[in-house]
Every structure is written in structure tokens, then in C-alpha cells.
Amino acid sequence: MPRILLAALLAVAVAGAQTVVERPTALRRFEQNRKALISGRVEWTVETLEPKPFVKHYVSRYARNGDRIVEHRRNADGVVSVDPTGKPVSGFPKLVLERRGEIWQTTELIPQARVWRGEGTIPEQVRMQFEDAPDVRAVAIQPVSESMRQGLASIWGAPDFAGFDWEQRRDGPVYIVIGRQGAHCMTWWIDSERGWNATRALYEREGEIVAEMRCELQRFGEYWFPLTVEYLIQGNPIEIIRIASADFNSPDDPAQFAPADIGVEPGYQIGEFGRPYAEYWDGNKQLSAEEYAALERSGRIKPGKTVRWYREHHSSGQKHPYQTPDEYRAWLAQRRDFQTSLLRRYVSAWEQYVLDFIQRFELNDEQTQSAYRVLTECQQQAEPLLRRTRYPYQKLLIELQEAQRCGDQPAVSRLQERIEHLKTPFVRIFESRLKPGLQRLPTRQQRMRAADVVTSRPAVSGS
């Protein structure tokens, strides 16, 4: 509802514009003071009241060159997001970096990142593929919270308010600014003694209040900024934003941000929009899986702390510290399915081979026990290989699926070859340990009987 309202409001303003009329002084001062908030750090929460109450925690970071990071943090219950019924969906903090024609996104303690690169304005269809990245510097500007998603430039850039008939009057330190266009009316109450911030904003249509913003201000260091903001639709509160801390334009603020500022480190898997297969981060740039693997094997690149932790700790099946109970159960089921597929291919097939061998040669009890001892020894030899290859095998399967989806046949062939290469140690155990170990068990008479059974079978006539 808020997003639709603001979009409709601005569309009306632009569509009805005939001439650009200068906005009142108070509104321009409001804009100038907010745009002066360039760098800094803000911790804040959004409490949504509909359809189910939920508090979401954010940390926003701003660099001096305009780069910005939005962190989706865990709330007091360890939850980052919920579904429409209020059920926890994820406990994983997510971080979004916007900088100079790029969007990056990571999930904390997961060694993967997504990135989009392009020129000019980021397309809306691209933004929808990433986590929401609201700009808290644009809070309490409009009667609806959509201003934080549009950003300061979009809200105040010409000709958004062109064609409005403006009126400004004063009530003590508060300036009341009214903009009218046909049946639509926007009103701001701007406090000149508190950083020229709005304490209230109203959108009316045909004389009826549709949307409203109410704001309590506080001084954060040198700057006045909203402390609590309440948004209402047709008189009903739907959203409350609270600022826990804010610091702006410190000389210690970073000049710019890099992927490392959202946790990207050597060994991270990078999925870039428009590229058919994943690449890996070397600390400065993306490399193919083959290039990165060669550098890591040679010791020229050392994987980062998160990558090492994920491989050594989480791959063992232990609960991730950010997983909700439902996420952990789902992950365990997926992991079991994955492991079972490996065991079925490399181990269960051996069990069937041994069973067929026992039946074909009619081994006695002692020989059967010996056959299963050979199988057990081979399985024990294969177990550490399974543990070591599980992670790269899984990554290759994901890359293979992506390559197949994109129709990149060269990548498909290359990945299939790499998957077959991972199977080589298991094939070696089967051919050099399991088969020879079993072949030593049958007696000469058992071999002759098995051969007689084969030769005595009737030929299958062709149709």
C-alpha cells in the first residue's frame, strides 16, 4: 500500500506538470539539510504492524563518495525475516552494498556473494533480485515510507513537484508548506529550529486524508534527525521506524566501500548476473573455478576465515549459528539427500556388486563374511574421500545446473569432466581393492559352476 501510494502521488505530480515552479523556502531548506548527510552510520528498526507485527533491525553505513551498505540484522528473537503469517523464515543476516554501478549481496558466514554490474540507474527488475536496501537518510520525508526506497535524488529531483500550486505560512518556528494539484494535496510541517526537518507530512485526496507521517526529532551530534517515525494509512498506524543511534559526516568515515566491507574474502563463490557459471574471489577480482583452485593448491591464495570455517565446521553437519530451527531441519534433510546420492552412487553400488558376487559364485558362510570384510575395508577407505569431495562435488553440481539452465554447452562439458575426475579415487578403490579382493574368494569348483550357469542359459531370441 505505501509503495503504491507514493508511486501514484509522484506520477500525478509529473503527469500534470506544465511549468517548473520554485518550491517554497522551507521545503528547499529541508532538502538541502538532508542531502548534507553524506557519510555516517545509523542503527534503526522498522516495526511493521500489518498483517502481523514484526520488528526488523537494520544498520546503514555510508561512505564519503556515496557508496552505501545496508545490513539486515537479527532481532531480539534471532530472526531476520518472517512470512506473511509471522512465521520466522530466516535468521541469516544479509548485507547489501551499492557502489558505482554495482550491487553486491552477501549472507553472513556463508561464503557466497551475488553481484550486478551496469551503467546508470539500477533497473527495478535487478533491484528485485536483491534484498531491500532502504536509505534511512530519506526517512520522514513523505507521508509514506517509500521515500527510503526511492532515495533523496528520486524524491526531490526535478520535475517531481513541478506543476504544484505552492503555499507557505509560518506558525512560530514551524513552516507549513502546502502543495496542491487538482484533487491532490501534500502538506509538510517543517521545524526551522530542528534542522529544518518535517515533524508531520500529509497526503490528501479530494479532501480526505489518505496517508500521514508523524515524526519525533532528536539531535544526533551536530545534526537533527528523526528519532521515531510513525506512518499511517487512512488513520491506521502501519509502520513505526525507530532510530537507535546515528552519526553523520565524521572525518573518520570511510572514503569508499569495497566488497570486503560486506565480508567478501578470498575463496568466496561469486554469482554475477549475466554470467552462466560461478566464479571465485581472489581478494581483488573474480577468477574461474579452475584458476582459483590452482592458486589455492599452490599456496598462492589462502582462503579467508569464513571460507575455512564453512568448509571445516559447517560441512560436518553442525548447526549454523544463524539457522532457525526450521532452516536447520530443512538443511539437514537436503544434506542427507545429497550425501545419500553420493553413497548410493559410490557405496551402495558396491554393496549390490558384492551381493551379486556372493550369489553368482554361491559363496559359503565363511566366504560371505570375507566378502563383506573386503567391502567394509573399501567403504572405510572411501569415507574420508567422501568427506573431502562432498563440498567441491556440491559446488560443481550447482555450477552444472546453472550451466545447463543457461544452455552453456562448453561449460556443461567442462563441469561434467571435473565431476568425473572427482569420482576417480572411488573407481580406483573399486577396481584395485574391491574386485581383486572378491576374486580371491571363490574356489575352482565354484568358478566352474558359475561358468556352467552362464553357458547353459538359453539365448534370447531377437524380435
What burial class does residue 302 get, using C-beta atoms within 10 Å of its C-beta: 0-12 exposed, 13-18 middle, 19+ buried? middle
Note the pLDDT of residue 20: 39
- Which range in 230-234, 313-317, 345-349 is most confidently predicted, on average pLDDT? 230-234
Q: CATH class for domain 25-248? A: mainly beta
Distance (Å) of CA 195 to CA 35, 37, 221, 448: 12, 11, 12, 99
Distance (Å) of CA 315 to CA 60, 264, 444: 31, 19, 48
Q: Which three cell numbers stand for residue 152?
A: 533523496
> Per-residue confidence at 297, pLDDT binned at 50, 70, 90?
confident
Q: Which three cell numbers stand for residue 428?
A: 580406483
Q: Is the pLDDT of residue 84 over 70?
A: yes
Beta bridge partners of 269: 112, 280
Q: Is the pLDDT of residue 454 over 50?
A: yes
More confident residue, 30 or 3: 30
Q: Is the pLDDT of residue 436 over 60?
A: yes
Quick: pLDDT tens for 199-253.
Answer: 999 999 999 999 999 999 999 999 999 999 999 999 999 999 999 999 999 999 9
pLDDT above 70 covers a percentage of the chain that reads: 81
Note the pLDDT of residue 17: 35
Say what angle helices 365-406 and 349-361 make with each other, to 10 degrees.
140
Strands 223-233 and 208-220: antiparallel
Q: Which three cell numbers stand for residue 318?
A: 553442525
> Per-residue confidence at 124, pLDDT binned at 50, 70, 90?
confident
Q: Is the pLDDT of residue 167 over 90?
A: yes
Task: Give residue 176's Cα distance to chain centre.
Answer: 42
- The domain locations on the chain are 25-248, 265-323, 326-450
What's the longest Cα–Cα distance across the chain? Answer: 112
Note the pLDDT of residue 462: 41
> Per-residue confidence at 397, pLDDT binned at 50, 70, 90?
confident
206 near 222, Cβ under 8 Å? no
More confident residue, 363 or 391: 363
* 3-state SS string for the chain: CHHHHHHHHHHHHHHCCCCCCCCCHHHHHHHHHHHCCCCEEEEEEEEECCCCCEEEEEEEEECCCCCEEEEEECCCCCCCEECCCCCEEECCCEEEEEECCEEEEEECCEEEEEEEECCCCCCHHHHCCCCCCCCHHHCCCCCCCCHHHHHHHHHHCCCCCCCCEEEEEEECCEEEEEEEECCEEEEEEEECCCCCEEEEEEEEECCEEEEEEEEEEEEECCEEEEEEEEEEECCEEEEEEEEEEEEECCCCCCCCCCHHHHCCCCCCEEEECCCCCCEEECCCCEECHHHHHHHHHHCCCCCCHHHHHHHHCHHHCCCCCCCCHHHHHHHHHHHHHHHHHHHHHHHHHHHHHHHHHHHHHCCCHHHHHHHHHHHHHHHHHHHHHHHHHHHHHHHHHHHHHHHHHHCCHHHHHHHHHHHHHHHHHHHHHHHHHHHHHHHCCCCHHHHHHHHHHHHHCCCCCCC
Note the pLDDT of residue 296: 85
> Per-residue confidence at 136, pLDDT binned at 50, 70, 90?
very high
Note the pLDDT of residue 327: 66
Distance (Å) of CA 206 to CA 165, 181, 203, 213, 342: 15, 10, 10, 19, 66
The pTM is what? 0.69
More confident residue, 8 or 258: 258
Q: Is the pLDDT of residue 441 over 50?
A: yes
In whole angstroms, what is the distance from residue 116 CA to residue 277 CA?
14
